Structure 1
């Protein structure tokens, strides 16, 4: 066993036990707020024996049962920060208020941060139900994992609000009458993990779930670009895209793939000229902004028109100016092919990379 450190919300130092084989699937254990990682140690050791690599997190201290809103926000952001620093997407197993924290942290975009979620005896509140309804990753809800007292009418109300068996892919387990609660909880965990996080290679076949295919595609490391243009009123528009590649040097062609549902898609379908800005590591905030709906994407962001008039972002690793060459429909995306008329680049910056749903960085020697 070794100790690992993570940087939490506001720079708080968080520690965790790390046990298990380096190449085994990863489980992140989150105890009840106010408990230490010793609460999960027996479960952690059993999971390691079943072939898992376990990160047993020590959360920041909680002031008591009536924790403040600021404390709640800090715990949620702590967990999101830890997940962002992990090298792979773990299954998160969380107990009681730790489950509340995990549900809040993973509801917005959990599939990018975790491979699955197990909520053990999570308290039921309106906020919890709202978060659960937004979960979009495999989830197991366990009632009575620590005590039959955890199986309450409130938990029944929570269960009734969950989209069991629908696209959210949520399952349940009721252990109110388990004779050996520890063994029963471990059995439920292992059964869920064997199906949702198998130790063998994950496989996608035509007709199976698109999440698996997305994970497979995400194993191809890419750069990150922001595609820019002007709309019919002359206003700058843009969006983040990592489906970008060169096509030909003679003639000079490149392509980007744009989701049909993207807000900028109608503009890009009809443009005469567009820009492709390849991002460097200092432009991660810009990438996030151009990937978020409702943002004023160009506000307080340095940019200037290129020779063709398209908006080009200052300090990009590369900026391409293109004439629209052709457009091809491709399922839920369309392929925009551009003829490069001008390119400018700064080769001494590090590129911003994207791999398995997370930003990565490559530092030159």
Structure 2
């Protein structure tokens, strides 16, 4: 077991225990508000023995739910793969709100243990928007009371199922925990099998994204000038060399990117391949609402495009062609100039995480 730290909403540090092999399917445990990660420790250790990698999270010391919701979304965005989220008590309220909009992109499934009555989740449509496999467990840690509101919540879930441990007539806490673990494992084996995952046409697009993430890449920042001469740029890892004669490269840009219109019309652009010291720049140019060039050293190239100082390589390109490709467009550039420092180590990206090169 190792102690790791995630960055929550506003940069608040959130501690978590990491247990198990990093190659095993992931489970994220979210405790009841006001409880620490120790509440889940026995369950976490049992899940590891069953072939799971477990992240056992501590919540911030705040009674308001809104910061917790943003914290959970931030943690999920930092994880290298989609986990099954298992939440207890009011932690279930946090999980339902955090995953109610685009949950299928952040998590592979959701388990709600002993969630208090949550009429607002039904009335506001939160339950109906939980478009990922969801298991509702009642009586996991203590006997639960029957509730019509709980039944209404279950009925509103698009992909919901329920388990009532009370029906097992368990009196001992240890027996109740064993029953809870059994329900968790049965759900995990169906919804997050340990064998190889598979994408087929028409499947969840996030599964394809996870598959693509198994290809390790470098990271670039693509730059250009807008019509007013203001520098713009964005982080991209879909980059490759195309040809040496003539000297061509390409980058793939999402149609929804804020800088996409500028890059579509740019006669010249730059591709800056990042080194390990430029991880903060990668984050800044990937975030929305950031002043991306603030405190970022850059200089105009011979065509005027902004080239980032300290990069592993900076390619200055003349636009060669543009091709539509689904939700992206492919920008092909003819290299007119390249500056590089071969002794720096590249910043890498693999399975949703930054990586460093380990030389043999």
- With the length of structure 2 as denominator, give the TM-score of the two structures: 0.79
Find the aligned partners of 1:98 and 1:337 in 2 and give their Cα distance: 47
Alignment RMSD:
3.9
- Report what 1:179 is aligned to: 168
Find the aligned partners of 2:128 and 2:258 in 1 and give their Cα distance: 22
Within the alignment, does 1:348 sit opposite 2:330 as a pair?
no
**What is the CA distance between 1:122 and its match in structure 2?**
3.5
> Which whole-Å deviations, capped at 9, do the CAs of 1:81-119 have from their partners, x for residues lacking one?
6984x6655323221233345556667886676543323
Aligned partner of residue 251 in structure 2, secondary structure: strand
Find the aligned partners of 2:13 and 2:144 in 1 and give their Cα distance: 34
Contact 2:41–2:56 (8 Å) recurs in 1: no
- Report what 1:234 is aligned to: 229
- Report what 2:47 is aligned to: 47
Superposition map of 1:9-88 within 5 A = 14=15, 16=17, 18=19, 23-37=23-37, 39-44=39-44, 46-48=46-48, 51-55=50-54, 57=56, 59=58, 67-69=62-64, 73=67, 77=71, 80=74, 84=78
- Report what 2:134 is aligned to: 140
Within the alignment, does 1:121 sit opposite 2:114 as a pair?
yes
- With the length of structure 1 as denominator, give the TM-score of the two structures: 0.78
Aligned partner of residue 43 in structure 1, secondary structure: helix
Aligned partner of residue 289 in structure 2, secondary structure: coil
Find the aligned partners of 2:274 and 2:233 in 1 and give their Cα distance: 13
Listed as ranges, the gaps of 5+ residues in structure 1 are none
Taking structure 1 as reference, are residues 364 and 305 closer, same or farther at Cα in structure 2, changes over 3 Å only?
A: farther
- Report what 2:173 is aligned to: none
Contact 1:321–1:342 (8 Å) recurs in 2: yes
Find the aligned partners of 1:54 and 1:28 in 2 and give their Cα distance: 9
Find the aligned partners of 1:22 and 1:337 in 2 and give their Cα distance: 37
Find the aligned partners of 1:77 and 1:129 in 2 and give their Cα distance: 24
Listed as ranges, the gaps of 5+ residues in structure 2 are 171-175
Contact 2:19–2:44 (8 Å) recurs in 1: no
Aligned partner of residue 359 in structure 1, secondary structure: strand
**What is the CA distance between 1:336 and its match in structure 2?**
0.9
Aligned partner of residue 168 in structure 2, secondary structure: coil
Provide the aligned length of Structure 1 versus Structure 2.
349
